[in-house]
Amino acid sequence: MITQVSSSLYHQLTTVFDDGLAIKGDLEPLASLRRNAFARFQETGFPTLKDEDWKYTNLQPLLSKNYLLRDNLPGKSVSIEKAFIKGLNPYKLVLVNGHFRTDLSDVVDEQGVSIYSIEDIHQHKLSLRHFAQYADKTDNPLVALNTALHEGGLVIEIEKNITLRRSIQIIHVASSSETIFNQTRNLYLLGNNTKAEILESFITDDIGLSLNNTVSEVVLEENAHLQHYYLQTANSQSSYLNHTEIHQKKHSLYNNYNCTFPGSAFIRNNINVRLDDSAVESHLYGITLTAEDQLVDNHTIVDHRKPHCESYEWYKNITQNTSTAVFNGKIFVREDAQKTNAFQQNNNMLIGEKSTIFSKPQLEIFADDVKCSHGCTMGQFDDDALFYLRARGISEEKARVLLVHAFAFDVTEKFSSEPIREYVDHLIEEGLIIEQ
């Protein structure tokens, strides 16, 4: 299934793998995990438009480039100011092309929290037990590729009964003067009765093109609470393939806020939540503002496997210029998952003359005593609302900004942190192109 176009990166990767470079000195079970994963990747190759999950998202142009598969300048200095959020003082952890840079990062001096580079995972029994146990069960070939050839990434382990005093901000910097392919791997483990807030900012710093294939696995043990933000502000030189797999235990709560702004040329987010115990709650919020030629594709899966769980999903897209937004939300309610409440909503504002929106809100239900609903709308500026504001002396430009803010408010009001809401509101305003 390997087409001519994708052969260049595909062959490059095969060569790297066959040379044994990836496995290096890896101990078991990591070495066999990598080997098995690469075999799985080779079976399918890169996904094409013929795959249902990639129907609207063409990877081929990205695969025809000649990539540098390893950072040739580790340790170089980068600027991270772009990711700073006014009014928020988190522990900043900096990853440059996936590599954890302790020299640029804050020290997290909280009891019961250990943070280390994924390269050191073989020294940690607990993390090793969870590593590659969740995301690899999906059939995403990019996850298999990441498991096989990942380099760099972060592990956060929070011991039970710990509540983090400050939030953690992970700043992912893509920085290279050449065309680079990064494969970062993260693992976040939250023990029983823990509470944490993790922000992940994606920024770029340098002129080279980058393709970032990131996989994160998140495990929430009983009664763990996690607020998880994605703040995507990278520039048009960068492309992202993010896969996040969340595994939840009893009474846990997971909130994901996925915010994407004009910049990065190509973004594909897979966010999968497995509610694998009773009384679990998950919330997925998304706000996407696109411009120019951007393509932003958000795929989510909410998988209800056990009874008495609740999920709530709300994604909003605003497309400008010639950009494209894709939303695919799947909700599964398995046979066992009686008394499930699942809600999903996708609203779109199509502003750009030549922009496109593809939406596929999907429900698959195998249990009868459930309440599930989904809704999807597409529209644009409401002329009546615009007129109302204009009649009150508000300029057209200002009125449009107001209306977009109002549209986004359903999602931004759900944010757990005030400074982040202000930060996002500001980015929306900045990203809006108002035609005079």
Partner 1 sequence: MSTKDDNILTELAVEEYKYGFTTDIEMDIAKKGLSEDTVRFISAKKSEPEWLLEWRLKALKHFEKMSMPQWQNFKHPKVDFQDISYYAAPKEKPKVNSIDEVDPELLETFAKLGIPLDEQKILAGVVAVDAVFDSVSVKTTFREKLKEVGVIFCSFGEAVREYPELVKKYLGTVVPQTDNLYAALNAAVFSDGSFVYIPKGVNCPMELSTYFRINAQNTGQFERTLIVADEGSYVSYLEGCTAPMRDENQLHAAVVELIALDNAEIKYSTVQNWYPGDKNGIGGIYNFVTKRGICRGDNSKISWTQVETGSSITWKYPSVILKGDNSIGEFYSVALTRNHQIADTGSKMFHIGKNTRSKIVSKGISAGVSQNSYRGLVQIGKGAEKARNFTQCDSLLIGDRCGAHTFPYIEAKNKTAKLEHEATTSKIGEDQIFYLNQRGIDSEKAVELIVNGYAKEVLNQLPMEFAVEAQKLLAISLEGSVG
Instruction: Give the residue with the Cβ less far from partner 1, 266 or 332.
Output: 332
On the question of a cis peptide bond just before residue 29, with omega within 30 degrees of 0, the verdict is yes
Shortest Å distance, C-beta 82 to partner 1: 31
Q: Does residue 361 interact with partner 1 by CB under 8 A?
A: yes
Q: Kindly tell me the sign of the dihedral angle through the C-alpha atoms of 10, 16, 18, 20.
A: negative
Shortest Å distance, C-beta 360 to partner 1: 5
Of the candidates 199, 188, 43, the one whose C-alpha atom is nearest the C-alpha of residue 130 is 188
Look up residue 41 and give its two tokens: 């990747």
Instruction: Give the residue with the Cβ less far from partner 1, 84 or 312.
Output: 312
Region from 92-100, 296-304, 362-370, 427-435 binding partner 1, contact rule CB under 8 A = 362-370
Of the candidates 266, 90, 99, 265, the one whose C-alpha atom is nearest the C-alpha of residue 164 is 90
Q: Does residue 352 interact with partner 1 by CB under 8 A?
A: yes
Instruction: Give the residue with the Cβ less far from partner 1, 90 or 352.
Output: 352
Instruction: Give the residue with the Cβ less far from partner 1, 78 or 372.
Output: 372
Instruction: Give the residue with the Cβ less far from partner 1, 286 or 352.
Output: 352
Shortest Å distance, C-beta 366 to partner 1: 5
Region from 98-106, 122-130, 151-159, 343-351 binding partner 1, contact rule CB under 8 A = 343-351
Q: Does residue 386 interact with partner 1 by CB under 8 A?
A: no
Instruction: Give the residue with the Cβ less far from partner 1, 113 or 350.
Output: 350
Look up residue 417 and give its two tokens: 């942190």
Q: Does residue 378 interact with partner 1 by CB under 8 A?
A: yes
∠ CA(336), CA(342), CA(345), 5° rounding?
150
Q: Does residue 293 interact with partner 1 by CB under 8 A?
A: no
Shortest Å distance, C-beta 262 to partner 1: 17
Q: Are 324 and 56 in contact (CB under 8 A)?
A: yes
Q: Does residue 370 interact with partner 1 by CB under 8 A?
A: yes
Q: In this structure, what are the phi and psi dihedrals at residue 329, rounded to the nearest 5 degrees? A: -115, 120
Pick from 3, 72, 79, 373 the residue near partner 1 by CB under 8 A.
Answer: 373
Shortest Å distance, C-beta 354 to partner 1: 8
Q: Are 277 and 250 in contact (CB under 8 A)?
A: yes
Question: Strand pairing of 281-290 and 168-174?
Answer: unpaired
Site string for partner 1, 35-74 (x = CB under 8 A): -----------------x----------------------
Q: Does residue 359 interact with partner 1 by CB under 8 A?
A: yes
Q: Does residue 376 interact with partner 1 by CB under 8 A?
A: yes
Q: Does residue 28 interact with partner 1 by CB under 8 A?
A: no
Instruction: Give the residue with the Cβ less far from partner 1, 280 or 325.
Output: 325
Q: Does residue 365 interact with partner 1 by CB under 8 A?
A: yes
Shortest Å distance, C-beta 364 to partner 1: 5
Distance CA 14, CA 67 (A): 13
Q: Does residue 350 interact with partner 1 by CB under 8 A?
A: yes
Q: Does residue 120 interact with partner 1 by CB under 8 A?
A: no
Shortest Å distance, C-beta 232 to partner 1: 23
* Cβ contacts of 50 within 8 Å, gap of 6 or more: none
Largest CA distance in the chain: 70
Q: Does residue 109 interact with partner 1 by CB under 8 A?
A: no
Pick from 120, 335, 397, 430 the residue near partner 1 by CB under 8 A.
Answer: 335
Pick from 69, 372, 386, 389 the residue near partner 1 by CB under 8 A.
Answer: 372
Q: Does residue 318 interact with partner 1 by CB under 8 A?
A: no
Instruction: Give the residue with the Cβ less far from partner 1, 36 or 322.
Output: 322
Shortest Å distance, C-beta 397 to partner 1: 18
Q: Which residue has the tokens 């929430």?
A: 220
The footprint of partner 1 (CB under 8 A) covers 52, 335, 338, 348, 350-380
